[in-house]
Amino acid sequence: MTPEQQRAALVAALTDAGSLPAEWAPAVAAVPRHEFLPDTIWADEDGGDTECSRTKEPERWMRLAYSDLPIVTQWDDGAGDGDHRTPTSSASMPTMVAEMLSDLDAVPGHRVLEIGTGTGYNAALLAHRLGAETVSTVEVDAQVTAQARTALRRTGYTPEVVCGDGALGWGARAPYDRIISTVSLRDIPPAWVAQTRPGGVIVSPVSPLLGGGAIVRLTVGGDGTASGPFTRSAAFMMLRQQRYQGTPVDDYLPGEWPGDSGQSWTSLDPEAIGGDWLAQFACALALPDVYYRRNEFGDGGWTWWLFDTAVTSWATVDSVPGESRFEVRQSGPRQLWDETEASYTRWTAAGRPGYERYGLTVSPAGQAAWLDEPGNPLPGHRK
Instruction: Give CA–CA dist 17/33, Å, rounded.
Output: 19
Give the contacts of 56 (CB within 8 A, at least 6 positions apart): none
Provide the 10 A C-beta neighbour count for residue 313.
18
Pairing type for strands 358-363 and 326-331 reads unpaired
| CA-based nearest residue to 208, from 244, 240, 252 | 244
Residues annotated catalytic, as ranges:
92
Instruction: Give CA–CA dist 318/315, Å, rounded.
Output: 10
φ/ψ of 91, rounded to 5, equals -100, 120
Pairing type for strands 176-181 and 196-206 reads parallel
Give the contacts of 188 (CB within 8 A, at least 6 positions apart): 202, 204, 206, 216, 218, 226, 360, 362, 367
Instruction: Give CA–CA dist 175/192, Å, rounded.
Output: 10
Each residue of 289-312: b (16+ CB within 10 Å) or e? Answer: ebbbeeeeeeeebbbbbbbbeeee
What is the 3-state secondary structure of 91-124?
ECCHHHHHHHHHHHCCCCCCCEEEECCCCCHHHH
Instruction: Give CA–CA dist 156/164, Å, rounded.
Output: 23
With residues binned 3-state (H G I as helix, E B as strand, rest as coil), the percentages for the chain, rounded to 5, are 35, 30, 35
